[in-house]
A = this chain, B = another copy of it.
Amino acid sequence: MTTSAKRRLEVQLGPVRLKNPVMPASGCFGFGREYSRFYALDRLGAIAIKATTKEPRFGNPTPRVAETPAGMLNAIGLQNPGLEAVLEQELPWLAQFDVPVIANIAGSTVDDYVYVAEKISTAPNVAALELNISCPNVKCGGIAFGTDPHIAAQLTKAVKGVSQVPVFVKLSPNVSNIVAIATAVEEAGADGLSMINTLLGMRIDLKTKQPILANGSGGLSGPAIKPVAIRMIYEVSQHVSIPIIGMGGIQSAEDVVEFFLAGASAVAIGTANFVDPYICPKIIDELQSLLDRMGVEYIHDLTGMGWKHGSAKA
């Protein structure tokens, strides 16, 4: 491989360099153990781990998932083993792989977030934090942070104050004005954005006449939400100068390129891991030949091309 061939997938997320732009999305990959049976995790650009909270959580009652046209609903409810177990078991286990970890963190008060952020950001293989301010599944939880620019900015500032590593803020799509939230957290010091988290949705069972999910509503993910993600990234990327990790329904190398054109600098793949456990390394391979066919040398050259040289406006 020539140097340029090796480096064509490299991307820079602010201070964080990734060997390729593809990472599994938080909550869709656990802490990597299960997928390590399918391929060597070193192949990934990064790994976004399951949201970690201060205390261990069981999460919501089951059923926790339901299917929708080209999508799925989940209401896992932030089940996770808690900060201590993540620091003592999961992160050290992941350290055997040459892959940076993006630690997704959640909480229900600013103090919770600050507590988790301070501790987890000191782990040697944590390259960045991802503030989950948008998880729609936990009652009285994240949702409020993600829908108000002020509150989102306050939280960002507090976490930035203690974090040893760059902080990415993961935005909720369930808002009237995504640009307002994005610019508020940028001003508050965010090093980057992750977008989008799931849309709020529901399915009702005709037999029981009740919502399928025990929690009632849940988060919609998968291909169905891709056009919403593309629209939001296209808009936000024109108003901020921090990098964006794009996600929402990615299933193929073509989808990855579409997210780059909209304005993403890296991508995360969630639901598609459930459909095909090999999807991440497959897409990484396919990106090489897709760039060849498109005559593109470096993938980072594609970021924002959808609006940089065009006249169309969102």
Contacts and interface: CB of A to CB of B under 8 A. Distances in A.
A70 interface: yes
Given A223-B70, A254-B206, A201 B228 contact: yes
A191 B155 CA distance: 41
B206 A312 contact: no
Interface of A (DSSP majority class): mixed
A192 interface: no
Given A204-B261, A210-B306, A312 B216 contact: yes
Given A209-B310, A261-B209, A312-B214, A227 B220 contact: yes
A101 interface: no
Interface in A127-186: 147, 174-177
| Copies of this chain held together in the complex | 2
A258 B69 CA distance: 14
A311 to B, nearest CB: 8
Contacts of A210: 306, 310, 312
A254 B205 CA distance: 10
A310 B216 CA distance: 10
Q: Contact size class for A?
A: 35 or more
A120 interface: no
Given A71-B70, A176-B147, A204-B258, A309 B209 contact: yes
Given A210-B306, A306-B210, A313-B216, A202 B262 contact: yes
A230 B202 contact: yes
A201 B71 contact: no
A56 interface: no
B223 A200 contact: no
B228 A199 contact: yes
Nearest to A308: B209
Nearest to A224: B224
Contacts of A249: 69
A113 interface: no
Which 5 residue pairs spanning A and B have beta carbons closest together? A201-B227, A69-B223, A70-B70, A224-B224, A202-B231
Interface of A: 68-71, 73, 147, 174-177, 199-204, 206, 209-211, 213-217, 220, 222-228, 230-231, 234-235, 249, 254, 257-258, 261-262, 294, 302, 305-306, 309-310, 312-314
